[in-house]
Amino acid sequence: MEEFKTNWSREELKAYILLYCANANFIETKAEKEYIKSKVGEEKYQKVHKEFDRDNDYQQIQKIQHTVARYNYSKHEIDRLFENIKNLFLSDGSIDTLEENIYRGLHHLLKD
């Protein structure tokens, strides 16, 4: 079985998770891009986006799950992360069904 280790910083992990969420409905809106950049900066956004674009959905989830575990996020850090995810989804005006599904899936993987 392939390992999905990363050497990301916490900010790069945040960028990757937010990119994953922004692409939930296969449309990364300008508002979503700007929100992510406001959280992690242009340089990290561009760097992480290149890797994100190369990964398939399975790789993306595995990298997120393994890196969150590596950093041993506290309940408070996970709650803050989900607050950022919710704000990202609302940045373009509404949360659609695909975004709700990604939110629930990540919630199951990272909070339960």
The domain ranges of the chain are: 81-112
Is the entire prediction scored with pTM above 0.85?
A: yes
Question: What's the pLDDT score for residue 76?
Answer: 93
Question: What's the pLDDT score for residue 36?
Answer: 97
Residues of the chain with pLDDT under 50: 1
Give every CB contact of residue 19 below 8 A, 6+ residues apart in sequence.
28, 36, 48, 49, 52
Give every CB contact of residue 51 below 8 A, 6+ residues apart in sequence.
16
Of 20, 10, 26, the residue nearest 88 (C-alpha): 20
